[in-house]
């Protein structure tokens, strides 16, 4: 068993995503054929055009491009929050079929919250994970040690801290929404760190689509009202400079 750290990889995305969005948008306002539109879209028009679309909230063209991320080193507590987002596709490592949680196969990996490290509680936390590992291994034995039929119920003692891996595909419109709610300081730290890294990677390949992406306060007043973190200037600066 070992501690895991966040790793986000942008695995795939629609080729030339901004050209695709510009083509779809041009189609809405032009009598030209699809073939002619493809020739008309010029890289130099894209920035202004995409900006105009997002300002108008004309977002259907943005739905034509998708991004697929491979994510590891997150807790089950985090993945539970991710999969609440319904306009996405997910494939998550199974605790039923992957027997890596057993001590003889290396044991389960886990995430240590930074707050626990900060108070000097890491050793305490790791000891508790070791205890859980014992419970898990005992249960696998008690359940007959028969692969998935033992793993499927032995996993009931695994903690929210247990590491998971997930592949996520979202279109850019859903990503803009996801970043709005999950990059916010009011979101939980782990999903916030993950969403921020996803945004950093997406911005590298689609700088215009994601130019103003980030929590709601990046472009508007804070949507959290009385619950605001009160750090709007700092947050705007962080997302403006995210590379
Ligand atoms: C800071 C924070 C705290 C949270 N705390 C809790 C909590 O304590 N308990 C809890 O249960 N959940 C909690 N959630 C999860 C939240 O309630 C939503 O389940 C989650 O944000 C995903 O839903 P979504 O509206 O963001 O939209 P997504 O599922 O990402 O869909 C995107 C958009 O599509 C539209 N849409 C999608 N599905 C429908 C539908 N069926 N009907 C109408 N419109 C739809 C909506 O406009 C939606 O905003 C929290 C989320 C955040 C960001």
pLDDT at residue 100, as a whole number: 64
* Residues 173 and 82 both lie in one domain: yes
Q: What's the total number of domains in the chain?
A: 2
- Tell me, what's the pLDDT at 33? 86
CA-proximal residue: ligand 1, atom 27 (nearest): 85
**In this structure, are residues 128 and 3 in contact, taking their beta carbons and an 8 Å threshold?**
no
Length of the chain: 243
- 1 in a structural domain: no
Q: Are residues 101 and 126 in the same domain?
A: yes
**Binding site membership of 186 for ligand 1 (Cβ less than 6 Å):** yes
Domain endpoint, select from 106, 136, 161: 161
- Residues 54 and 76 reside in one and the same domain: yes
Sheet holding 7-13, edge to edge: 7-13, 66-75, 163-171, 88-92
Give the tokens for residue 94. Answer: 């199974």
Residues spanned by the domain of 28: 7-90+164-240
Question: Which atom of ligand 1 has the smallest separation from the CA of 174?
Answer: 32
What is the end-to-end Cα distance of the chain in Å, rounded? Answer: 34
Same domain, 59 and 75: yes
**Do the beta carbons of residue 45 and residue 30 sit within 8 Å?**
no
Residue nearest to atom 34 of ligand 1 (CA): 87
> What's the gap in Å between 133 CA and the centre of ligand 1?
34
Closest ligand 1 atom to the C-alpha of 81? 15
One domain for residues 83 and 101: no
pLDDT the model gives residue 44: 66
Residues 212, 194 within the same domain: yes
Mutation pick for ligand 1 pocket among 77, 80, 84 (CB with most ligand atoms within 8 Å) = 84
Q: What is the C-alpha separation between 122 and 228, in angstroms, rounded?
A: 30
Task: Compute, in degrees rounded to 10, the torsion defined by CA atoms 128, 113, 174, 240.
Answer: -170
Which of 64, 54, 66 shows the shortest CA–CA distance to 21? 64
Examine the fold and report which residue of 112, 134, 161 is the final residue of a domain before the chain moves on.
161
Of all atoms in ligand 1, which is nearest to the CA of residue 184? 1
What is the C-alpha radius of gyration for the chain, rounded to an integer number of angstroms? 22
Which stretches of the chain drop beneath a pLDDT of 50? none
Let me know whether 173 and 84 are in one domain.
Answer: yes
Task: Give the separation between CA 201 and CA 121, rounded to whole angstroms.
Answer: 32
Give me the CATH number covering residue 79.
Answer: 3.30.1360.170
CB-ligand 1 contact for 86 (6 Å cutoff): yes
DSSP alpha helix (H) spans, 41-157: 43-56, 76-82, 114-118, 122-142, 148-154
The CA 190 to ligand 1 mean position distance, Å, reads 17
Active site residue 182: yes
Evaluate whether residue 48 is within a structural domain: yes
Q: Residue 43: what pLDDT?
A: 66
Q: Are 198 and 175 in contact (CB under 8 A)?
A: yes
Shared-domain flag, residues 80 and 180: yes
Clarify whether residues 201 and 227 are in a common domain. yes
The answer to whether residue 2 sits within a structural domain is: no
Q: What is the pLDDT of residue 144?
A: 92
Q: What is the pTM of this model?
A: 0.94
Do 81 and 178 sit in the same domain of this protein?
A: yes
- How far, in Å, CA of 55 to CA of 43, rounded? 19
The pLDDT of residue 221: 94
- 174 and 157 belong to one structural domain: no
């Amino acid at each position: 068993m070992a501690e895991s750290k966040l790793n986000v990889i942008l695995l795939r995305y629609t080729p030339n995503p901004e050209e695709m969005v510009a083509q779809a948008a041009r189609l809405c306002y032009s009598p030209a054929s699809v073939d002619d539109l493809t020739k008309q879209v010029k890289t130099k028009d894209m920035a202004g055009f995409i900006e105009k679309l997002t300002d108008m909230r004309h977002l259907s063209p943005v739905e034509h491009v998708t991004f697929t991320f491979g994510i590891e080193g997150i807790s089950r507590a985090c993945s539970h929050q991710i999969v609440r987002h319904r306009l996405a596709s997910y494939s998550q490592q199974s605790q039923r079929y992957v027997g890596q949680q057993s001590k003889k196969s290396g044991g389960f990996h886990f995430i240590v919250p930074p707050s626990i490290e900060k108070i000097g509680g890491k050793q305490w936390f790791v000891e508790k994970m070791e205890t859980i590992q014992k419970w898990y291994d005992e249960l696998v034995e008690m359940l007959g040690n028969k692969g998935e039929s033992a793993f499927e119920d032995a996993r009931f003692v695994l903690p929210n801290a247990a590491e998971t891996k997930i592949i996520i595909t979202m279109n850019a419109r859903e990503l803009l929404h996801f970043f709005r709610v999950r990059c916010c300081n009011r979101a939980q730290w782990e999903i916030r760190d993950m969403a921020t890294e996803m945004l950093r990677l997406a911005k590298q390949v689609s700088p215009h689509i994601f130019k103003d992406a980030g929590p709601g306060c990046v472009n508007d007043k804070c949507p959290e009202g009385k619950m605001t973190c009160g750090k709007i200037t700092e947050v705007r600066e962080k997302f403006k400079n995210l590379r």
